[in-house]
Structure 1
Amino acid sequence: MGLTKKIVLAMIAGIAVGLLLNFLNTSQLLGETVSGLINNYLTTGLFDIVGRIFIASLKLMVVPLVLVSLVCGACALSEGSRVGVLAGKTLLLYLLTTAAAITLALVLALVIQPGAGMEGMASDATFDPQPSPPLSEVLVNIFPTNPVDAMAKGNMLQIIVFALLMGYAVSRSGKPGQRIAGFFNDLNEVIMRMVGVLMVFAPYGVFALLATKIAQLGLDAIVQLMKYFLVVLSALLLHAFGVYSILLKLLSGLSPLKLIKKMRPAMVFAFSTASSAATIPVTLQTVEKRLGVDNKVASFTVPLGATINMDGTAIMQGVATVFISQLYGIDIGLMGYLTVILTATLASIGTAGVPGVGLIMLAMVLQQVGLPLEGIAIVMGVDRLLDMVRTAVNITGDSVVTAIVAKSEGALNVERFNDDNYNSVVANEEDASRTA
């Protein structure tokens, strides 16, 4: 059985177990003592510990993988002086997809009106947002003063800047640079092997994560906000399978169906972990081995996308803005919606390294159009479940932009991309590698 099937089965089992645990805890059929034991030793005990250890193990790989891959990629790119062109294309496409995502979300929410008739929910809502950083501070903080500190804190934008500078310097250093480049290339192979080892335990980690989340949330939160939940979900699916497909076909001529089929392992993994950063190793491995993207492009576009490409979050902000405006009976007008598009698009880069980025970005957007921040408390109930779908959408966007940029740079193996049998070939190679 392939890794994707194992993860899907683990997800189904995790959801089933989580619903069972939630039912036992809320119904009190087993009494308070037994329910307390189940909650303490399973939900917040065993399952929570296994899930957190798995996520921690993945995050362990993120910084060394991004640093080493980017140095290798920058070395190769710098030889042809393509770093600036590549960065420009990638950044422009990420901004374009984010703007398209929030526009789609606003249009869909205005047509369906998820907040109509639910004004009573706004009466007791309270929310205390974290302050958003000023734009000047954000721009300055992109550049590291201490690369070791940036790596220790996992500040991805600073790591990317440092790795690009180092890769450029290595490519311009003659024979010493060649020796250093050889070391980083060898180190990259070792790190990718470590990622393969961790993937063996992915189904168990996914099961534990979903069992814990579903057991804690249940279905009550979704029922109360079903209309909002379905509008956000519809916008996410339309963007993932509609906007991305059109963009990929128009700008590269590649088949969207083949890309989605080959990206399934990364998409499923992103959905189950709800973390773009934790999914970087899987995304990078998938776009290189299954899509045929050269490492010199993938090592730049994938980490950057996981850091600043927040199409899923932008969609949530668009629907949430309309939803909250309808709850409080405030019409922000056409200029207000244009402000939402601009603010959310720029904020996707500006707040990339800030903890709780989704809610901070939403608070920034609401402040710009004069909507009460207390409305965020209402949508938080289902946000954790939608976050899993948002992450899968973000990963899909990263792969689409990566494929488009790689095709334009002549760094895409089109034969491998179009080979329907290559999925099974790669899977067999990965299984053999893990066995060895």
Structure 2
Amino acid sequence: MSQATRILLALVAGLALGIAAAAIAPDFGMAAANVADPIGTLWLNGLRMTVVPLLIALLVTGIAQTAEAAKAGAIAGRATVWIISLMTLSAIVGAVFTPLFLSLAPMPVESAAALRAALTNTGPVADVPPFADFLRSIVPTNVIAAASSDAILPLIIFTATFAFAVTRLPADTRVALTGFFSALADAMIIVVEWVLKLAPIGVFALAFVVGARSGAAAFGAVIHYILTVAAVGGIMALLAYVLAVVGGRVPFGRFAQAIAPVQALAVSTQSSLACLPIMLKKSEQLGVPERTAGIVLPLAVALLRATGPAMNLAVALYVASWFGVEVGPAQYAFAILAAVLTSMGAVSLPGQVSFVTSIAPICLILGAPVEALAILIAVEVLPDIMRTVGNVMMDVAVTTTVSRQAGETQETSQDPATRSGGGSLDPAT
């Protein structure tokens, strides 16, 4: 049984037992919830303690990796521009469609109220600061103080600035510094994996508390959350068809037929990397030369998380709506920036690790309680299917688009002049 399945079963068992205890023996249920609450909180704090150092390390290495990819040649540079553009578009999709879906199909009022009451450790929701105060706070005067107080936005801005400065250093210094942050990220990921091994216990304890205090309303809220976040990811998946048709000049039916086996494999494996061989094959069938697909697709798998910013921002906005947090325009703007940067830094991480490192900073920027993520991580295995399907679809769509922009097709790639390095055999030219 996979770890994700164990966590999901722990969530279901905790909710069910908590609901049953509240219905059969309310006094016992509340007493048991008071015992389980600190256990779940300890596990959650174990996750939270890794967020800041892991965020810093991943941002530095992610930006450095993206900068290196952009220098790797014309095709790689063009692909990197598309990757950054699509990640930005993804965050905008999350910012636009999440509030839209929540307005069309809001969480049941009873469920939201019951869950807010169940998570008693979240504390009061802070008021939205005046715009001038918010703007003044985004540049930290003391980075250490910002990190210790969970002032994530100033920390992200400083770290991103520092990371871009690192890319301008001489090669030997740059490699040494990025190597340090890469090792720091690897060590912190090991710590997170240790904490996640205890996730079934922590999630069970938190779910029992929620079930005992909120009753059956918890199940309806979880289903509503899954459908909302998956719907936001589905928008990005649909945009992959648009990009392939408009940018790659691939007929809709042809792209849909080619991508169907990739989608099926993505559903079964929930891994973009596992889909890479079949994505290479299908890209070539769509007219992309093997050499172009061999550059763009691995780069897309490594750097592009097309659904990441949209769905991560959707989770944070869902939690904000759940707890009645008012989000101002400036917070929206910076949350979009954070969604792009944290998703870019979370490449190649296990889904449960990236869930924490990518979404917790956005929640902190919005003023939404991070504690709610401890429950939502348990059901991430279900939205993660949409994440993977949308990612692989966009990987192939980007590959066809870059190939078309470069003026390369299977026919030109088989031309003797093209094979010889791009020069013409005609002496007149």
Q: Please say whether Structure 1 and Structure 2 have the same fold, judged by a TM-score greater than 0.5.
A: yes
Residue in structure 2 matching 1:192, options 185, 189, 197: 189
Q: 2:49: which partner in 1?
A: 60
Structure 1 residue 146 corresponds to structure 2 residue 138: no
Q: 2:410: which partner in 1?
A: none
SS of 2:154's partner is: helix
Give per-residue Cα distances to partners, 1:42-81, cap 9 Å, x unaligned: 2111x11221111111111111111111111122223437
1:104 and 1:235 in contact (8 A); partners too: no
Aligned-pair CA distance for 1:207:
0.9
Inter-CA distance 137–85: structure 2 relative to 1 (3 Å threshold): farther
Q: 1:270: which partner in 2?
A: none
Give per-residue Cα distances to partners, 1:75-133, cap 9 Å, x unaligned: 22234377987655433321223312333443457xxx989xxxxxxxxxxxx975322
Supply the distance in 2 between the matched residues of 1:295 and 1:141 (Cα, whole angstroms). 33
Structure 1 residue 312 corresponds to structure 2 residue 318: yes
Structure 1 residue 103 corresponds to structure 2 residue 100: yes
Supply the distance in 1 between the matched residues of 2:230 and 2:310 (Cα, whole angstroms). 23
AA aligned opposite 1:357: A
Supply the distance in 2 between the matched residues of 1:96 and 1:104 (Cα, whole angstroms). 12
Q: 1:202: which partner in 2?
A: 199
Inter-CA distance 90–245: structure 2 relative to 1 (3 Å threshold): closer
Structure 1 residue 165 corresponds to structure 2 residue 161: yes
Supply the distance in 2 between the matched residues of 1:406 and 1:140 (Cα, whole angstroms). 39
Inter-CA distance 355–56: structure 2 relative to 1 (3 Å threshold): farther
Superposed CA RMSD? 5.0
Q: 1:134: which partner in 2?
A: 130
Aligned-pair CA distance for 1:3:
0.8
Q: 1:212: which partner in 2?
A: 209
Give per-residue Cα distances to partners, 1:137-160, cap 9 Å, x unaligned: 334433322221222122332222
AA aligned opposite 2:235: V
Q: Which runs of 5+ in 2 are unaligned?
A: 72-76, 110-123, 245-254, 272-297, 338-361, 400-429
Please report the TM-score for the alignment, with normalisation by the length of structure 1.
0.55
Give per-residue Cα distances to partners, 1:12-39, cap 9 Å, x unaligned: 221222122212443x6xxxxxx3xx63
Across the two proteins, how many residue pairs are aligned to each other?
Answer: 309
Structure 1 residue 43 corresponds to structure 2 residue 39: no
AA aligned opposite 1:157: L
Supply the distance in 2 between the matched residues of 1:183 and 1:164 (Cα, whole angstroms). 16
Q: 1:21: which partner in 2?
A: 21
Supply the distance in 2 between the matched residues of 1:231 and 1:184 (Cα, whole angstroms). 38
Supply the distance in 1 between the matched residues of 2:45 and 2:105 (Cα, whole angstroms). 37
Supply the distance in 2 between the matched residues of 1:201 and 1:292 (Cα, whole angstroms). 34
Q: Whose Rg is larger?
A: 2
Give per-residue Cα distances to partners, 1:159-210, cap 9 Å, x unaligned: 2222222222222221222211222222222222222222221111111110
Q: 1:246: which partner in 2?
A: 238
| TM alignment of 1:57-96, pairs within 5 A | 57-79=46-68, 80=70, 89-96=86-93
AA aligned opposite 1:44: N
Paired-residue identity, %:
20
Aligned-pair CA distance for 1:236:
1.4
Aligned-pair CA distance for 1:211:
0.8
Inter-CA distance 155–196: structure 2 relative to 1 (3 Å threshold): same
Supply the distance in 2 between the matched residues of 1:348 and 1:186 (Cα, whole angstroms). 27
Supply the distance in 1 between the matched residues of 2:367 and 2:385 (Cα, whole angstroms). 21
Supply the distance in 2 between the matched residues of 1:230 and 1:201 (Cα, whole angstroms). 22
Inter-CA distance 212–315: structure 2 relative to 1 (3 Å threshold): closer
Inter-CA distance 108–21: structure 2 relative to 1 (3 Å threshold): closer
Aligned-pair CA distance for 1:213:
1.0
Supply the distance in 2 between the matched residues of 1:114 and 1:53 (Cα, whole angstroms). 30
Q: 1:372: which partner in 2?
A: none
Inter-CA distance 159–256: structure 2 relative to 1 (3 Å threshold): farther
Inter-CA distance 231–63: structure 2 relative to 1 (3 Å threshold): closer
Structure 1 residue 236 corresponds to structure 2 residue 247: no
